[in-house]
Structure 1
Amino acid sequence: MKFETTNKERRLIMKFNLQSSAVQQTVNHEGAKAFVMNPAMQLYTAIVTWSLNDSFYEKNHQRLHRIHTLVSQTDPLFVAKLAVYARQKMYMRSAPLVLLTELAKVHSGDNLVARATRKVIARADEITEMLACYQLLNRRSGIKKLNRLSKQLQKGLSDAFNNFDEYQFAKYNRSDAAIKLRDALFLVHPKAKDEAQQAVFNKIAANKLDTPFTWETELSALGQLSFPDETTKRQAFKNKWEELIDSGKLGYMALLRNLRNFLEMEISHPHLQKVCATLASAEKVAKAKQFPFRYLAAYREIAQMAAQLPGPTDGSGYVGQVLDTLEKAVMQSAASVRGFDENTKVLLACDVSGSMQVPVSPNSKILLYDIGLMLAMLLQSRCKNVRIGMFGDTWKTISVPHNNILANVQEFYRREGEVGYATNGYLVIKDLLDRRILMDKVMLFTDCQLWNSQNGTQHIHSLWIRYKRKVAPDAKLYLFDLKGYGQSPVQLIQDDVYLLAGWSDKIFAILDAMENGRQALAEINAIEF
């Protein structure tokens, strides 16, 4: 269903677009000069850089409170569009639910929340997750308390029930969840679109959904069996993995996550080739919509396995092929990045400071500065005339090949200690100014908590102004905000300073919009309601 925008809503967007992005001066978490963004810009950066994980400078409850405040200060239409954008373009799941819950608290009188909810709910389990989020953020306990659910949220969830079939409901029907599909069904009272859908609803109500065929259920069933010895058990699991690969029912993410299992179980080379062909397929990569850092996590897992288990019978002989496949896959994910030609001089600077060395989620081994490195290497692979480097206490450039995105990240990861762990991003601009190096695009991948650890007076804001005046009057500065604390180290009201935020390769669609004269939030505002 297409979201139509009313004339009134269009006028609100136009009014919003005229607001300055960062005007009021403040200080960041390091006590350095910074500039406050307007509420909409703050909300955008906070949402697309949030994994519901405590950050270096901010705890989850603090960000929840900040989002609650920002939603109340921001145009409701923009909030709704941001929720849809975060789910559909940035592949986020929890943050859009928080946005909708907060929007439902402050907005009523039309069907905006219902329309946005229909767009955000992309998986069957998100129906119950939406209810759990609403319950938590409204401080309600027990299913009965949810009877006072927002009417428009209820309408959106009711409509969302008709987007899924029995297999999808059964796949995500968690018996240990606080709010189950059956609870949600009785709470939102969906109206079936046809008799077949009503039959599915009846099965949900009776707790009689058919057990779905998934790789998890298949392996779980096999694990319940008794085997005479470990060799027989290992062979059974190897056969099961090969059977699952042949079935075509292993999804892209499942293949990516189980690469180590495939190698350790020594699946046949023809089966491994099937896996590699799927992972490297341009069509499959585009459809899978993976965060780029997922490929990095898989790459590190395989490299680690090879280091820990050297030997002729552990599948390590195929490690090189698998690593090459992951490089091909991530190159496919970079194919949509427009990049810059040989006439455009680009500098990419990665923040590897201490505040960037926090996990992106509680169970992840990927750190925030890995995200910056991944995004920088994706862009580097698409630029013809590019330099790349990292900053901490000091700043240095490092030369790496164009086509080895994941290996390049690993090279920077190995060398990050060479520059220390402060956040002296000003040194990037100072170096360009001191050596009078002409650049067209200067891009910093950072949490934007930049300062001068030498207690000096030099600041990136004043240095950029001097660089523009003395060396490169047409240069543009891009800040890739990876944590969304709501501040910028440089004023964004200048037409040569831009801020982007997010962890997905889709962030480069906003970069492309900026290059064509559109604002940072143009991609969000372009979503049709």
Structure 2
Amino acid sequence: MSKFNTATNRPALSSPVRTERTPSGRTHEGAPGYARDAKGELFLLAVSNMVGENTFYEKAGDRDERFRDLVHRVAVEDGAWMARFLPWLRGEANMRTAPVVAALESVRARLAAGLHGLNRQLVDGVLQRADEPGEALAYWTSTYGRAIPKPVKRGVADAVRRLYTERGLLKYDTGTRGFRFADVIDLVHPAPAADKAWQGELFAHALDRRHDRDRPIHDSLATLRARAGLAALPVESRRAALADPGRLRAAGMTWEALAGWLQGPMDRQAWEAVIPSMGYMALIRNLRNFDEAGVSDEVAGRVAAKLTDPGEVAGSRQLPFRFYSAYRNAPSTRWGHALDRALTLATGNVPSFGGRTLVLVDTSASMTSGAVSERSTVTPVQAAALFGVTLAARGERVDLYGFADGVFRHGMGRGASVLKEMDRFCGRVGEVGHGTRIAASLRRVYRGHDRVVILSDMQTMNGHDGAEVTGAVPERVPMYGFNLQGYRRAAMPTGSGHRHEFGGFSDASFRLIPLLETGRDASWPF
């Protein structure tokens, strides 16, 4: 009888998040825990780290210190890898604070080690919004003082040339910022970009504005001049200006600025005037306000069209759970379909599996305690459910279960509304206890499936029989752990054979799974 040459034999493959083969420690709940290599641990932590946020098993300070230590180590050992990773983390993975912190800490570690190449590029590559040069300088000075190394200054100056515009100044140069645009300019001394003839005048205006110098706005700064014209209107005549949305757009008027400028209510007229110039994130944050103000169906239709435009979704860089937040905050029927479609576009890397797939979503206490960040109301279990329900909606034959101490089955049809099914799934959280028993749950529900996907923080409890997660299903069956929190220890050995681990709050890491499914080794997604 053949032992190896069988119809069910699969090629052994490798993936980038690698662990040791024998556990050297324990998970936070006492099961055998496998240490990852530095890059793997940093990757999983970075794609889920909001910085300065407590998680169930780690205090914010401990988590941030672990993050810094990993960044320092990898930046010195392989700066080229870091130079590829951080722009991807800021861009495709849609993380904001973690890549900024990682870039600055990388430069600090590399300078201490006498390494001088790449440092400027590391900083420039992660600054993607006009408020982020100030954010980077605020982090550095609050952590290490006012002595700022030249590579940091030059990287910030490169970003300033790319990012500073009239609209950026109007939106982000406010008195609530510790570093105003002028403060950044004073510190890093950027030369205006060669292809932006107006930028030198913009820098000069930012300095005048910061230092209360009453000088006329240069003719080349049309948006700033238009805003000054609106500001000069008497308060009693400002509402009449709402009849010309184009004038508001030309003046870079945001909805936040409009509310203060009107000195009156944001009613239907005000919203309908500013909606044409609102950005994607501003739209999804204000859907409930649109309903309460009674915006017309025609305007709502234009909002829905923008929400479901593939280019707009891609450009918005919204993490998928933001659409669930919007759905919960604005439950009216006129937004549901648009948000479902937008979420589908935002999870384009989540695969559509053939064959039979078992998906387990962790509903234990560590996944339900606290939001993913202080600015969010979404919990890790909701983020996990989003991906689990998405897999079930797309796959051919997917068995979706929630698990903790026990398991519950969530039946749904292919092509179902992800948002509605998420609500239904999350309504059952707590039904089967609060522990994390991955191995026991797998043994209860595995029935010859072609693959297994586990969405969890992977901090499994030690089973009553001492069994490990990796042996809970046959060795030949691919098992993909999708890690939502990035804790130090893994629940199973990963990176080779048929055991692999990915993670994060975006769909970016999912792109590795189709490579493994087609029998190809998967490298980093950047």
Common topology (TM > 0.5): yes
Q: Report the secondary structure of 1:346's partner residue.
A: strand
Q: Structure 1: where are the runs of 5+ without partners?
A: 1-15, 226-232, 304-318, 525-529
Hey, what's the Cα distance between the residues in 2 that align with 1:73 and 1:67?
Answer: 10
- Counting only pairs closer than 5 Å after superposition, residues 95-110 of structure 1 correspond to structure 2 as 95-108=98-111, 109-110=115-116
Letter of the 2:199 partner, please give it.
Q
- Counting only pairs closer than 5 Å after superposition, residues 247-266 of structure 1 correspond to structure 2 as 248-266=276-294
- Aligned pair partner of 1:339 in 328, 345, 352: 352
Q: Report the secondary structure of 1:522's partner residue.
A: coil
- Counting only pairs closer than 5 Å after superposition, residues 129-528 of structure 1 correspond to structure 2 as 129-138=135-144, 140=145, 145=146, 148-164=147-163, 165-194=165-194, 195-207=197-209, 210=224, 212-222=252-262, 224-225=263-264, 233=265, 237-245=267-275, 248-303=276-331, 319-341=332-354, 344-357=355-368, 358-402=370-414, 403-432=416-445, 437-452=447-462, 455-464=464-473, 467-468=474-475, 473=476, 475-516=477-518, 521-524=523-526
Hey, what's the Cα distance between the residues in 2 that align with 1:19 and 1:361?
Answer: 25
Q: Report the secondary structure of 2:65's partner residue.
A: helix
Cα 1:328/1:491, change in 2 over 3 Å? same
- Counting only pairs closer than 5 Å after superposition, residues 87-126 of structure 1 correspond to structure 2 as 87-108=90-111, 109-126=115-132
Letter of the 1:438 partner, please give it.
G
Hey, what's the Cα distance between the residues in 2 that align with 1:20 and 1:331?
Answer: 30
Shift of 1:92: 1.0
Deviations 1:172-191 (A, max 9, x none): 11212222221111111111
Stretches (4+) displaced over 4 A: 16-20, 516-521
Hey, what's the Cα distance between the residues in 1 that align with 2:362 and 2:294?
Answer: 40
Letter of the 1:270 partner, please give it.
E
Letter of the 1:385 partner, please give it.
R
Q: Is the 8 A contact 2:16 2:524 kept in 1?
A: no
Equivalent residue pairs, number: 462
Hey, what's the Cα distance between the residues in 2 that align with 1:197 and 1:98?
Answer: 28
Q: Report the secondary structure of 2:198's partner residue.
A: helix
Hey, what's the Cα distance between the residues in 1 that align with 2:399 and 2:342?
Answer: 24
Q: Report the secondary structure of 1:416's partner residue.
A: coil
Hey, what's the Cα distance between the residues in 1 that align with 2:482 and 2:522?
Answer: 11
Decide which moves more: 514-523 or 30-39. 514-523
Hey, what's the Cα distance between the residues in 1 that align with 2:68 and 2:83?
Answer: 14
Q: Report the secondary structure of 2:429's partner residue.
A: helix
Shift of 1:490: 0.5
Cα 1:45/1:102, change in 2 over 3 Å? same
Hey, what's the Cα distance between the residues in 1 that align with 2:431 and 2:314?
Answer: 36
Cα 1:19/1:264, change in 2 over 3 Å? closer
Q: Report the secondary structure of 1:350's partner residue.
A: strand
Letter of the 1:238 partner, please give it.
R
Hey, what's the Cα distance between the residues in 2 that align with 1:328 and 1:37?
Answer: 37
Hey, what's the Cα distance between the residues in 1 that align with 2:41 and 2:142?
Answer: 23
Cα 1:20/1:340, change in 2 over 3 Å? closer
Q: Report the secondary structure of 1:207's partner residue.
A: helix
Hey, what's the Cα distance between the residues in 1 that align with 2:400 and 2:72?
Answer: 40
Identity of aligned residues (%): 26
Q: Report the secondary structure of 2:267's partner residue.
A: helix
Q: Report the secondary structure of 1:97's partner residue.
A: helix
Shift of 1:418: 1.7
Q: Is the 8 A contact 2:253 2:274 kept in 1?
A: no
Cα 1:333/1:69, change in 2 over 3 Å? closer
Cα 1:19/1:239, change in 2 over 3 Å? closer
Cα 1:493/1:500, change in 2 over 3 Å? closer
Shift of 1:426: 1.1
Q: Is the 8 A contact 2:348 2:507 kept in 1?
A: no
Paired residue for 1:79?
A: 82
Hey, what's the Cα distance between the residues in 2 that align with 1:287 and 1:50?
Answer: 22
Letter of the 1:22 partner, please give it.
E
Paired residue for 1:22?
A: 20
Cα 1:378/1:482, change in 2 over 3 Å? same
Q: Report the secondary structure of 2:133's partner residue.
A: helix
Deviations 1:100-132 (A, max 9, x none): 121011114433121122221111100000111
Hey, what's the Cα distance between the residues in 1 that align with 2:423 and 2:353?
Answer: 24
Shift of 1:493: 4.6
Hey, what's the Cα distance between the residues in 2 that align with 1:494 and 1:507?
Answer: 17
Q: Structure 2: where are the runs of 5+ without partners?
A: 1-13, 211-216, 218-223, 228-251
Shift of 1:22: 3.1
Hey, what's the Cα distance between the residues in 1 that align with 2:81 and 2:347?
Answer: 28
Letter of the 2:435 partner, please give it.
A
Hey, what's the Cα distance between the residues in 2 that align with 1:302 and 1:176?
Answer: 29
Hey, what's the Cα distance between the residues in 2 that align with 1:291 and 1:168?
Answer: 22
Deviations 1:468-493 (A, max 9, x none): 3xxxx3x1000001000121111115
Q: Is the 8 A contact 1:499 1:520 kept in 2?
A: no
Hey, what's the Cα distance between the residues in 2 that align with 1:519 and 1:295?
Answer: 33
Shift of 1:514: 3.6
Letter of the 1:116 partner, please give it.
L
Hey, what's the Cα distance between the residues in 1 that align with 2:85 and 2:141?
Answer: 22
Hey, what's the Cα distance between the residues in 1 that align with 2:107 and 2:156?
Answer: 13
Hey, what's the Cα distance between the residues in 2 that align with 1:516 and 1:132?
Answer: 46
Cα 1:379/1:17, change in 2 over 3 Å? closer
Hey, what's the Cα distance between the residues in 1 that align with 2:31 and 2:282?
Answer: 44
Paired residue for 1:7?
A: none
Shift of 1:205: 1.7
TM-score, structure 1 as length reference: 0.83
Hey, what's the Cα distance between the residues in 2 that align with 1:17 and 1:274?
Answer: 43
Deviations 1:208-261 (A, max 9, x none): 783542111112212x24xxxxxxx5xx6210101112xx21111111111101
Q: Is the 8 A contact 1:252 1:279 kept in 2?
A: yes
Cα 1:401/1:432, change in 2 over 3 Å? closer
Shift of 1:278: 1.6
Deviations 1:292-330 (A, max 9, x none): 111111111123xxxxxxxxxxxxxxx222222222222
Q: Is the 8 A contact 1:498 1:520 kept in 2?
A: no
Cα 1:516/1:202, change in 2 over 3 Å? farther
Deviations 1:415-445 (A, max 9, x none): 1222111101112321256xxx211210100
Q: Is the 8 A contact 1:359 1:367 kept in 2?
A: yes
